[in-house]
């Protein structure tokens, strides 16, 4: 056996073999093949070099990459390579023409390709009358088949009509059929011409019947469908064909799973009846239609909702107290109200729970209080954010009339919690707003009303859902933006803010540890002294809550983490003197003394949505004609307070020893920094009067005094709101004495004892009391 540089010299009865995965080549048929396996490529190169035939045969298992002799069929087709090309991936594409059948007699080893000794299988030359009759029948059926299949070239029909040899006619027709590979291999191995013709006729007749039925269904369906439903026509044809052949499955498994889920959901009887009707409608639909997916999603929502009420867990009040004490420092009145709420729930589990609404500045622990209630009740907790919601459908759900419809936020929260008696927090209820799409606050009226929410109807579900066992807890920063009907359905619990001592305790107990863990530090890696924490609270933050304080502590921890990452053995101790190097210079300072060192400057107390604050009221006079100039973005109420204060100063000019003529020769300018922040409200009258009195009497206001209250033209000091927030703001700013309307002294009950003892509270009945307490000597 001689070997050249590119090919082997093979005897005539030994041919290279190319196994094919899912292709059967018949004699007299042209067929393209793609060859990429190394042995197959070597076999193709061998026959191309020698211009010899190649053996094409089917491998039994298409998943085998390197088939052996046991994985190959024993009968194949000897073929000639008509054309071939090679692509960039070394993959050969060749066009083969079948010559004759062969049978493998013996596999030959020792070549880089599969090779075998073969024996050719010649067709019988003697043709019987039955063979001729079968050939005539096959030719007619083949012509009928080609007329039903669009797109076949006309030359193929001429070739079939001109083919006279029955064996050749059977092979060409078999190659046209979209039969299984195993059926085609069976036809290839049929050596009896009559049996082969009968089998091809059988397969061809089945395909013709399928094509006829398809054509009938197409014509029948076409009459019933409109032009806009043509896409649906193809899917309906496929379904009808599968049904006639008994090959369709109609999503039985999916329908069965939904039916089991409906049974397990425990819906009320009338609701389950309606849902099962929808399931029957789904079963009759095509899975390819758009409505199918919409209805399927609806049924999934219905089965996922917790219709059954879980068993109530007994409430342990001592454990609830421990949870509240462990999670929150201070807030004694709030925690006492929560314990009372839990006690009522324990005594009357089936009773209707009141809707609590926690109102306070950001960062005072409103959301965490709701989580603590859920832990104490051992119920699921879910938070529904209402900030920015302006569409009623966000609360009641969208109607199922279009793709993308969803239930409202309430039902989505119930599904997320997985329990019908969950604790649901309606966060930022004051951020709801009405729009052209409706008022979501109106939808809240039904949700929060214990008399109505037992039959709450979501537009998407279309059936009532019982919300009576849900414990609703709302949060808000201010109540001014909450509609009165909604406010009437809630019990308001104020969380005004923390004192400096409370912030210190919370930082030591919770914030330092939380930030230490968040930054990957161990207990001994970084510590802050009490003095450093006090400076952080007083000079780097000025807020009612704790968020900025936690951020500043986090900055200290990150600074420590950077140093410890370089030296793992290092321990960082942050003291007062280290804060400026870590955080920069202090952001806030007690500037009351410097701002009130001149006559005409008074310190007022203001309420803001994020807690109380101090503001300075500055007055000066210039030559003019008695005009009042107001700056600082004052609202209408503050402008009227300023005018009333000036009028009252003029009225009391003799009492204050102010020459009456001075008001005619000067203009008064009243300014409230900062000018970029809008300001309004009724509580600045006393401070404006004192600032004007200080200006005209040339007596500075004491730098230890801050004040609040409205005035009347009779000189009376009228009560105002937000006393607790304002007193806490005065204490944070370093004020020593606070002037309050006498009728507001009852509101000091809400102020912590530590703050009351640190301040001197001076009640005001008239503006004379304010002048006497606030103004110093010249």
Cα(167)–Cα(173) distance, integer angstroms: 10
- Predicted local confidence at residue 229, as pLDDT: 67
Q: What is the DSSP string of 125-155?
A: ----HHHHHHHHHHHHHHHHHHHHSTT--HH
- Catalytic residue, from 40, 441, 683, 702: name it: 683
Which residues face 30 on adjacent strands? Answer: 97
Interval 130-148: pLDDT, tens: 888 888 888 888 888 887 7
Which residues face 472 on adjacent strands? Answer: 424
Residues 6+ apart with CB under 8 A from 68: none
User: Is the predicted pLDDT of residue 1 greater than 50, yes or no?
Assistant: no
> In the chain, what's the furthest Cα-to-Cα distance?
145
Which stretch of 19-23, 277-281, 352-356, 765-769 has the lowest confidence by average pLDDT? 352-356
Q: What are phi and psi of 14, to 5 degrees?
A: -115, 125
Sign of CA dihedral 732, 736, 739, 742: positive
Q: Is 463 helix (H, G, I), strand (E, B) or coil?
A: coil
- Half-sphere exposure of residue 4: CA atoms within 13 angstroms, side-chain side: 9
3-state percent breakdown (helix, strand, coil) of the chain, nearest 5: 45, 20, 35
Cα(372)–Cα(324) distance, integer angstroms: 6
- Predicted local confidence at residue 230, as pLDDT: 64
Residues 6+ apart with CB under 8 A from 521: 557, 560, 561, 564
User: Is the predicted pLDDT of residue 659 greater than 90, yes or no?
Assistant: no
Cα(218)–Cα(351) distance, integer angstroms: 63
Sorting pLDDT into bands at 50, 70 and 90, what band is 382? very high
The helix (run of H) or strand (run of E) holding residue 334 is helix 332-347
Cα(506)–Cα(328) distance, integer angstroms: 8
Q: Is 20 helix (H, G, I), strand (E, B) or coil?
A: strand
More confident residue, 122 or 150: 122
Average pLDDT of every residue of the chain: 84
- For 604, 615, 652, 660, 689, the CA distances from 649, given in Å and listed in that order, are 18, 21, 5, 10, 7
Outline where DSSP puts E strands in 624-772.
628-631, 666-671, 705-707, 710-711, 717-718, 737-741, 760-764
Interval 423-442: pLDDT, tens: 899 998 888 888 777 788 88
- Predicted local confidence at residue 100, as pLDDT: 92
Helices and strands (H and E) in the chain: how many: 29, 24
CA torsion angle for 574, 580, 583, 585 (degrees, to 10)? 150
Sorting pLDDT into bands at 50, 70 and 90, what band is 595? low
User: Is the predicted pLDDT of residue 715 greater than 50, yes or no?
Assistant: yes
Interval 559-578: pLDDT, tens: 889 888 888 888 888 888 88
Whole-model pTM: value is 0.58
- Predicted local confidence at residue 739, as pLDDT: 93
- Catalytic residue, from 503, 535, 679, 726: name it: 726
- Predicted local confidence at residue 2, as pLDDT: 39
- Predicted local confidence at residue 172, as pLDDT: 86
- Predicted local confidence at residue 589, as pLDDT: 67
Sorting pLDDT into bands at 50, 70 and 90, what band is 3? very low
- Predicted local confidence at residue 5, as pLDDT: 37
Q: Judge whether 726 counts as a catalytic residue.
A: yes
Section 56-75 average pLDDT: 88
Sorting pLDDT into bands at 50, 70 and 90, what band is 227? low
The closest of 189, 192, 184, 77 to 134, measured between CA atoms, is: 192
User: Is the predicted pLDDT of residue 152 greater than 60, yes or no?
Assistant: yes
Cα(750)–Cα(722) distance, integer angstroms: 11
């Amino acid at each position: 056996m001689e070997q050249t540089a590119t090919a082997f010299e093979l005897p005539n009865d030994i041919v290279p073999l190319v196994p094919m995965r899912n292709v059967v080549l018949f004699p007299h048929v042209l067929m393209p093949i793609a060859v990429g396996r190394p042995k197959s490529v070597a076999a193709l190169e061998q026959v191309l070099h020698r211009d010899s035939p190649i053996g094409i045969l089917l491998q039994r298992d298409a998943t085998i990459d390197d088939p052996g002799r046991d994985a190959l069929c024993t009968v194949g087709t000897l073929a000639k390579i008509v054309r071939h090309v090679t692509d960039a991936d070394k993959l050969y594409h060749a066009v083969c023409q079948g010559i004759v059948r062969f049978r493998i007699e013996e596999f030959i080893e020792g070549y880089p390709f599969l090779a075998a000794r073969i024996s050719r299988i010649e067709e019988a030359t003697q043709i019987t009358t039955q063979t001729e009759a079968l050939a005539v029948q096959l030719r007619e059926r083949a012509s009928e088949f080609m007329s039903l299949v669009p797109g076949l070239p006309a030359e193929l029909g001429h070739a079939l009509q001109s083919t006279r040899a029955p064996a050749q006619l059977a092979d060409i027709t078999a190659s046209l059929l979209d039969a299984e590979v195993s059926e085609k291999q069976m036809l290839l191995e049929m050596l009896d011409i009559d049996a082969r013709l009968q089998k091809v006729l059988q397969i061809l007749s089945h395909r013709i019947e399928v094509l006829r039925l398809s054509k009938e269904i197409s014509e029948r369906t076409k009459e019933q469908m409109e032009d806009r439903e043509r896409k649906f026509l193809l899917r309906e044809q496929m379904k009808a064909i599968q049904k006639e052949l008994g090959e369709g499955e109609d999503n039985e498994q999916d329908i069965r799973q939904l039916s089991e889920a409906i049974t397990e959901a425990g819906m009320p009887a009338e609701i389950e009846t309606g849902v099962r009707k929808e399931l029957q409608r789904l079963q009759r639909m095509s899975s390819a239609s758009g409505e199918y997916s919409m209805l399927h999603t609806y049924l999934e929502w219905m089965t996922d909702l917790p219709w059954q009420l879980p068993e109530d867990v007994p409430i342990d009040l001592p454990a609830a107290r421990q949870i509240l004490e462990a999670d929150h420092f201070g807030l004694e009145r709030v925690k006492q109200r929560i314990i009372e709420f839990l006690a009522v729930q324990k005594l009357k589990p089936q009773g209707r729970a009141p809707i609590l609404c926690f109102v306070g500045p950001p960062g005072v622990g409103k959301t965490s209080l709701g989580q603590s209630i859920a832990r104490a009740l051992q119920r699921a907790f879910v938070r529904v954010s209402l900030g920015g919601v302006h569409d009623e459908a966000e609360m009641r759900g969208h109607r199922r009339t279009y793709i993308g419809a969803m239930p409202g936020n309430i039902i989505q929260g119930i599904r997320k919690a997985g329990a019908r008696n969950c604790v649901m927090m309606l966060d930022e209820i004051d951020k709801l707003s009405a729009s052209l799409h409706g008022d979501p606050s109106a939808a809240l009226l039904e949700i929060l009303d214990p008399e109505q929410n037992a039959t709450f109807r979501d537009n998407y579900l279309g059936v009532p859902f019982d919300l009576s066992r849900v414990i609703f807890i709302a949060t808000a920063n201010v109540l001014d933006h909450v509609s009165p009907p909604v406010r009437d359905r809630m019990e308001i619990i104020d969380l005004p803010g923390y004192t400096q001592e409370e912030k210190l305790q919370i930082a030591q107990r919770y914030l330092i540890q939380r930030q230490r863990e968040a930054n990957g530090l161990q207990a001994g890696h970084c510590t802050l002294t009490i003095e450093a924490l006090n400076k952080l609270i007083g000079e780097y933050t000025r807020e009612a809550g704790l968020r900025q304080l936690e951020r500043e502590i986090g900055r200290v921890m990150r600074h420590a983490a950077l140093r410890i990452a370089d030296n793992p053995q290092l321990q960082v101790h942050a003291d007062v003197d280290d804060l400026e190097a870590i955080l920069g210079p202090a952001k806030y300072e007690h500037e009351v003394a410097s701002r009130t060192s001149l006559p005409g400057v008074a310190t007022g107390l203001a309420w803001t949505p994020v807690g109380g604050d101090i503001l300075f009221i500055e007055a000066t006079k210039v030559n003019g004609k008695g005009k009042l100039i107001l700056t600082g973005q004052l609202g209408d109420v503050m402008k009227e307070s300023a005018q009333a204060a000036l009028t009252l100063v003029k009225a009391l000019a003799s009492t204050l020893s102010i020459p009456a003529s001075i008001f005619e020769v000067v203009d008064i300018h009243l300014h409230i920094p900062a000018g970029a922040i809008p300001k309004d409200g009724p509580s600045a009258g006393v401070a404006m009067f004192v600032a004007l009195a200080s200006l005209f009497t040339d007596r500075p206001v004491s730098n230890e005094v801050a004040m609040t209250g409205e005035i009347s033209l009779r000189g009376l000091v009228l009560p105002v709101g937000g006393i607790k927030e304002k007193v806490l703001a005065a204490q944070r700013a370093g004020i020593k004495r606070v002037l309050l309307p006498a009728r507001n002294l009852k509101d000091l009950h809400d102020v912590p004892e530590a703050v009351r003892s640190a301040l001197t509270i001076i009640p005001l009945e008239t503006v004379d009391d304010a002048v006497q307490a606030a103004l110093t000597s010249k």
